[in-house]
Amino acid sequence: MKNLFFVLMVAFFAFLSCRNDESDVQQIDQIINLYIDSVNQDMLNVKIKGSYTNIRMNDVYGITDAAPVNFTMKKTADTINYIEYIAGAKRIGIDSSASSKTYQSKIALIMTKKVNDTNRIVNDTMIINYTSTPNLFQVSKVWYNDVLKFTKVEGQPNIVKISK
């Protein structure tokens, strides 16, 4: 009797471990590619005069005043620089229904550029709204300095282009 119970338990757990029900898996689409230009100048290319030489991101909703947010500087095949932001800023719930929730992150961008041998600090703000359902978590809207700059289009990457 003990052997039969043991065999049934092993078979049951083997069955559970082999299940592959992808409807239980939530898809995640949260990578944002942020491009910043000014009069067709890539403002994120430190080698171009007048561009930003230092960029920092800080979580406005963070636990402390100094809550750095990680990002990666990348380049396209055409050597256009952009900021890749994946995650890291705190998300607060702003809306909820039975089937969907909306979260928001707020990030301060502190960018330095050299103007006439003087460092000039530029302070910008990016607000990111996310929509979460049982099947999907994704970026839905992005505001830059209180101007809506991105609304999600299904199947398209999250590319935010800022012109200064």
Q: What is the per-residue pLDDT for 116?
A: 87
Quote the tokens at residue 22: 């992808």
Q: What is the per-residue pLDDT for 22?
A: 53
Which mean pLDDT values do the consecutive 10-residue runs of the chain (164 residues) have? Answer: 54 53 80 96 94 97 93 94 97 93 98 91 98 96 98 97 95
Q: What is the per-residue pLDDT for 65?
A: 85
Q: What is the per-residue pLDDT for 6?
A: 52
Q: Are 150 and 159 spatial neighbours (Cβ–Cβ below 8 Å)?
A: yes
Q: What is the per-residue pLDDT for 137?
A: 97
Q: In the structure, how many helices (H) and strands (E) does the chain have?
A: 1, 12
Report the residue count for the chain.
164
pTM strictly above 0.85: no
CA gap 117, 162 in Å, rounded:
25
In the chain, the amino acid numbered 134 is P
Q: What is the per-residue pLDDT for 162?
A: 97
Is the Cα torsion angle 23, 88, 142, 160 positive or negative in sign? negative
Quote the tokens at residue 25: 């898996």
